[in-house]
Amino acid sequence: MKLTTREGGLEASPRVVIAPPRARPRRLFRSRTAIGFVFTAPLLFLFAAFVVYPMAIGLYYASDPDSYRAIFSDPVFRTTAANTFWYVVVAVNVKLVLAVLLSGVLDYPYWSIRVLAALFLIPWAVPALPGILSFRWMLNSQWGIFNHLLTKFGFASVPWLAQHDTALGAVMVFHIWKYLPFWTIIFLAGRRAIPGELYEAAAIDGGSAVQNFFHVTFPLLRNLYLICTLLSMVFTLGDFTVPWLMTGGAPGDSTHVLATLAYRYTFTMGRLEWGLATFTVALPITLLFIGLLMRWVKI
């Protein structure tokens, strides 16, 4: 027997007709949700234990207005806020501009460039501690290589880590040296995703290398650049390792950033609530960066 539907199509055999769902959608939903919860429970538990709970406790401790009065009245905090601003603005921008430019160099298909790229990755791959300690030795005013070279060529030696500007500059330079390779590789991947036809078309139109960069490469890297900038700002705002190991806030507590100052308040001075208040001051800016980032990548 030929089975047809009212519309004239083939009708399925009664044996293969899928029975209409039982009229218990809410229960089914509940059941599936429950199963989902069971499977995600470990992750939810970890998230609650290591993200939600610490943040809630942190905000609770940081909610005392006296803590804000105390840190805002501390002259070191004001210097620190300015340092953090300059650290983020200068280090992030210099690093990313250099990364975009260097990614162009590493994009050349020569074996020597590949070797160079491998060497270039070393600073990012090595642990921060030996790198920073080496850099500190190089900057030592008595026996550091920089001052040795300066004095060899007749210049006066510079107490690099013993004055505010050069000490903060040293922190920025190390940060850039350390993280530049990572962002360069990101931009290199971005460049490699640009279709070659666009460059061929530009070449037919007589575009120079500079014109290619400004009219083809950079417009297509723009979104990536902005995302990288926001990500790097979030990372740099919370950077503790480089400033702490490089200067420890010296000279005269003038080179602290918010992360190191919070650490100083919490562990040197035993003022947990001040440390958390210091982080909370930076929280709106961090959340703004994260919000912009999420909007940009449409999460």
Partner 1 sequence: MEQTRRDFLKTTAAGAGAAGLIGLPSTTRAQGSKLTVWWNKGYYPEEDAAMQKIVKEFEAKHKAEVELSFTAQEDLLKKITAALIARRVPDVAFCFYNDWQVVPKYAWDDRLADVSDVIEELRPRYDDKMLVVAHVMNNKMKKRAYYGVPIEAQTMHIHYWRDLLKEAGLEDAPDKIPMKWDDYWNYWKKAQDALRKKDAAKYGKLFGIGMTESTRASDTLYNFDMALLSFNGEILDKDGKIIADQPRNRDAIVKTLKWFGELFTSGYVPPDATNWTDGDNNAGFHSHTLVMTPNPSQSIPAAQFFNKDDPQKNNYFNNMATIEWPDGPDGKKARYLTAVKTIIVPKDSRNQKLAKDFIKFVVEKDRFAEYIKAANGRWFPAFKDVASDPFWRTGHKGPKGEKDNHVPVATTIFLERDNRVFEHYKHPALSQVYDENVWGKAMARIVVDKWPADKAADEGIERIKAIFAQHK
Residues that bind partner 1 (CB under 8 A): 35, 38, 41-42, 45, 66, 70, 73, 75-76, 140-143, 157, 159, 161-164, 167, 247-254, 266-270, 272
Compute CA distances 19 → 23, 31, 216, 240, whole Å.
Answer: 11, 20, 57, 62
Give least dist CB 272 to partner 1, A. 5
Can you tell me the distance from the alpha carbon of 124 to that of 206, in angstroms, rounded to the nearest whole number?
A: 38
Nearer to partner 1, 178 or 256 (CB): 256
Give least dist CB 225 to partner 1, A. 36
Nearer to partner 1, 45 or 60 (CB): 45
The token pair that represents 47 in the structure block: 């998230």
Nearer to partner 1, 164 or 191 (CB): 164
Give least dist CB 266 to partner 1, A. 8
Give least dist CB 261 to partner 1, A. 11
Nearer to partner 1, 183 or 263 (CB): 263
First to last CA, the chain: 54
Compute CA distances 116 → 95, 105, 113, 119, 131, whole Å.
Answer: 18, 10, 5, 5, 19
Can you tell me the distance from the alpha carbon of 178 to that of 172, in angstroms, rounded to the nearest whole number?
A: 10
Look-up of token digits 């503790």: 240
Nearer to partner 1, 167 or 185 (CB): 167
156 CB contacts (<8 Å, ≥6 apart)?
Answer: 150
Give least dist CB 157 to partner 1, A. 8
